[in-house]
Structures are given as C-alpha cells and as structure tokens.
Amino acid sequence: MVDIASYGVYVPRYRIKAEEINQAWGRSGGRGEKAVAAPDEDVLTMGVKAARAALMRASLDGAQVEAVYFASISSGYAENALAAQLAGLLGANQGVSVADFGLSTRSVTSALQACTDAMEAGRIGCGLVIASDRLIAKPGSDYELSYAAGAAALVLAKEGFASLGGFSAYSSGFVGRSRAEGQFHGTVDERFVMQQGFLEHISLAIQDLTKVMNITLDQFGQVVLHAPDLRWGNRALAQIGLDPKKHVSTFAQIGYAGCASFLVDLAYALEKLTSLRKILAVSYGPGGSDALALSVEKQPSKMHGLMTVEEQLNQKEHVSYSTYLRYSRLLGGPR
C-alpha cells in the first residue's frame, strides 16, 4: 500500500490583481489575482518550504526520507541538480534516491508515480514528492494574468491518512502550450489546445481510471483538475458532468503555478475535507494526462505552528504592476 502521510504547501506572500495587470496595459476589468514570488525566491527556496512543512506535519526528520522527487517546468536550468540540493537542504541521508522531473506540468504526476513505484517495489518506505514553479509570462500577454508561483509537497509512506487507490495515464503526442529554453510561452490557438488537448486528454484519463477501478464519477467527493486557465476547468466540469461544488481550486486566489498547482489544489482538497471520501485528481501537461484516485481514511493532522493552505491563501500583500515587474526579474536587478 502507498499512502499519503502528509502534505505541505508554500504560497508566496505577494499578489497582483488581474485588474492591476490589465490597467498597466491600458485594458480595463479583470477577475481574480495571482501569487507573485519575491525576487529572491526561486523554485528551490519555495520547494524547500513546502517540503519542510510536509515533513513537520508528519513529524518526520529529513533523514527518514528515502526518496526526493522534484517536478518543475521553470527552474531555468539546463543542467543542475535540484532534487539533490533539496535532499541536502532537508537533511536527507546521502543514499537518498533523487530525481528531477520536468518539461511538462504533467511531470508532477510522473514524479508521484515514480515514487509510488519505488515504494511498491519495496525499494523505499518513505518518499517526498515536491513540485515548485515560478512561471513568468511575457508582459502584456494573456498568460500574464495567470502565471504564478508556488510549491507543494507530499510525503508518501506505507501508512498515512489517504491511500493512492488507482492511477491511470493517457499519453499522446499532443503538445499544446510549450516553451523553448530561456523563452516565453509562444502564442497558440487556445481553443484548440483546450479542446483537443486538455479536455480530450483529461476525459480519456478519467475514463480509463473509472474503468480500471470499476467506479463511477459520483463516488468522488472532491475533484482536482490541473487546469492552466479558469475557463478550461469550468468547461471540463461541465463536459465531464461533475458537480462544480466538488471542484477544489486555488486558481482564482493564486493563479496557475505549473506543476505546483496540481499539488497545491490536492493539498487544499485534503485540508478542506470534512468527511472521509474519495478524491479524483487529474494532472495535465504537454504530452498527456494522469488521473488518480485517493481514498481518504483518516483526517490529516492539524499541526500547531504550521500555516494552513487557507491561511496562506489569505495572508497576502498586494503589489503594483511595477513592483511585480521588478519581482519577476525580467529587467534583471538585485535579488
């Protein structure tokens, strides 16, 4: 059995409202806001904080972790070892299994799957999956309204409060949004990507999962959808026939933080849980989609001294567009 033993989330302190971004570009209106990292934060500093929170909730020492798997699409490095650096910062033993996942936001579930596999193979007894992203969109682009920063982590162990019940992958050669090294996301036909990419892939992944597990959608009490856009998520709910009340999303509050968004929303779902139920969580990124089913068996522990996801969503400081631009470090400048 592979269980989720703990979760941790890090949401940076700063926010910018969509309205403020629009105003800077001479547009009016705008809904929601997104999380902005400080100029001295990167995927590693945020990832460490999420991971430390997860370890603290599980009362675990870094030395007890046997795997550190890290997923990110925005580290900015072509060569580096972030999972190994994270393992060192967390105090893991040198024999720890480390792996860096990336290139698609879906890699967050690849990391989760890899950790699950290692546990099922009996190679490790306790693993840490960390996702962290700091997406920077081209100023003035539509993506600028949603691209955000954040991190989250899960501790997987033999005994936890939720079991990973089923896993289903759907892969195709479909890419959709993509980005060359050191460049911004290019403009694509968003309706095409939403329909032929996102909707198509998550539907098929979910379909496969329900078939394999012999389960119906109404048995899921909560749903996490890895949507890079609020409208995509809403369209998906309608198309799949899911009750919007079951949808757990932090998108309106913190925007879209790549790999991290999937785990942040999943952690938020675990935190908001009022009764024991099943959670459907579906990741998406270039290449395909993974669907997984969680069975919550116990209430996750509330830790004194640890900020809840809700508290992190609410503890915020709004910044102006010029401050946001400085924090993005698109113009260089000090950390």
Q: Do strands 162-171 and 3-10 pair parallel, antiparallel, or not at all (unpaired)? A: antiparallel
What is the SS3 assignment for 94? coil
Selected binder of other proteins within 23, 45, 203, 207 (CB under 8 A):
45
41 is an interface residue for other proteins by CB under 8 A: yes
230 is an interface residue for other proteins by CB under 8 A: no
57 is an interface residue for other proteins by CB under 8 A: no
Q: Which is nearer to other proteins, 38 or 213 (CB)?
A: 38
Distance, in Å, from the CA atom of 326 to the CA atom of 334, rounded to the nearest integer, reads 9
In the complex, the smallest distance separating the C-beta of residue 306 from other proteins, rounded to whole angstroms, is: 7
Q: Which is nearer to other proteins, 17 or 49 (CB)?
A: 49
Sort 312 into a burial class: Cβ within 10 Å, 0-12 / 13-18 / 19+.
Answer: buried
Closest CA to 254 of 106, 326, 151: 151
140 is an interface residue for other proteins by CB under 8 A: no
Distance, in Å, from the CA atom of 47 to the CA atom of 133, rounded to the nearest integer, reads 8
Stretch in the footprint of other proteins (CB under 8 A) among 43-51, 115-123, 194-202, 279-287: 43-51
49 is an interface residue for other proteins by CB under 8 A: yes
What are the structure tokens assigned to 167, written together? Answer: 């896993």
Q: Which is nearer to other proteins, 230 or 307 (CB)?
A: 307
Can you give the length of the chain in residues? 335
- Applying the rule CB under 8 A, the residues between 17 and 36 that interact with other proteins are none
Selected binder of other proteins within 42, 190, 265, 290 (CB under 8 A):
42
**Other residues' Cβ atoms within 10 Å of the Cβ of residue 78:** 7
Helix (H) or strand (E) holding 22, with range, is helix 18-24
Selected binder of other proteins within 30, 32, 39, 125 (CB under 8 A):
39
x-or-dash string of contact with other proteins, 293-312, rule CB under 8 A: ------------xxxx--x-
333 is an interface residue for other proteins by CB under 8 A: yes
In the complex, the smallest distance separating the C-beta of residue 319 from other proteins, rounded to whole angstroms, is: 12
89 is an interface residue for other proteins by CB under 8 A: yes
Encode 98-159 in three state secondary structure: EEEECCCCCHHHHHHHHHHHHHHCCCCCEEEEEEEEECCCCCCCHHHHCECEEEEEEEEECC
Contact footprint for other proteins (CB under 8 A) = 13, 38-42, 44-45, 48-49, 77, 80, 88-89, 91, 305-308, 311, 315, 333-335
